Amino acid sequence: MRALTLVAFVLIASFGVPISVLAQDTQTGLYNPVDTQQGLNNPADPTISLINPLGTSCNPANTDCLGNFLKSILAFVIRIGTVVVILMLVYVGFKFVTARGEPAEITKARTMFLWTVVGALILLGAQVIAVGITATVQSLGTGS
């Protein structure tokens, strides 16, 4: 019975409190449904444009740009991942050699090889997705 009461209280609090907090008083002018900024209420207004969150001055020399920061993080992860993939390929080769023809050990080595290749493809896919997103954001920023 106590658990049911607690669940009911949590549900009432989670749905009731936000509704009362977000209620707006229309009598005192706190809520103005007509925005005074030009073109905001007309979606067909050609003067409205999206703001590029990655910044317009995102060139390789700009170190304060979010896009360059994310590119450097991805480059670091790919470098580390490439080293790990190469080491895993060497280890998988070692497992194949030490299997000595035993079917169970060869199956384990094949499975390890499969997952190493999957990891390498994930790294490659991350790079491809990042390049695609960068090209899309840049094309949206130039308006072409």
Q: Give the residue extent of every domain in the chain.
A: 49-142
Q: What is the pTM of this model?
A: 0.54
Say if residue 39's pLDDT is above 50: no
Q: Name the strand (E) or helix (H) holding 70.
A: helix 66-99
- The pLDDT value given to residue 130: 86
pLDDT tens digits, residue range 46-101? 666 666 555 556 666 666 677 777 888 888 999 999 999 999 999 999 999 999 88
When pLDDT is averaged across residues 115-144 and rounded to a whole number, the result is 84
For 57, phi then psi, to 5°, come to -100, 45
CB 120 within 8 A of CB 85: yes
pLDDT of residue 85: 95
Q: Label residue 143 left, alpha or beta by phi (over 0 means left) and psi (-120 to 50 means alpha).
A: left
